[in-house]
Structure 1
């Protein structure tokens, strides 16, 4: 229903693009950072592993907060 209309969209027949701010990529990024942390830990890069785990932890937390908020609303 609500969306952005691309320039010349009616002439081409594209239509509207829905407004969606959070597409669920937080959990995908969290898994990627978690895998990066595991690989870095195996290779001995403790600093990279620790930072990657911190980023993964925050992304999972953000994902959970947004998931609960979307269920409540």
Structure 2
């Protein structure tokens, strides 16, 4: 979503910095999601499941 908004801004107004911001946000989102996913896998042994 952020990348699409950045592309629209860059094409419509020539605002290349919007594209840069969108790419940075996308990379940050992927990094946080990867961290959460890997952390959840390590912690899984001691965690109780709700039934």
**Given the two structures, how large is their TM-score scaled by the length of structure 2?**
0.64
More strand by share: 1
The runs of 5 or more residues in structure 1 that have no matched partner are 1-31
Moved over 3 A (4+): none
Q: What is the TM-score of this pair, normalised by structure 1?
A: 0.48
Question: CA-atom RMSD, angstroms?
Answer: 1.4
Bigger radius of gyration, 1 or 2? 1
Name the structure with the higher helix share.
Answer: 2
> How many residue pairs end up in the alignment?
42
Runs of 5+ consecutive residues of structure 2 not aligned to the other structure: 44-51
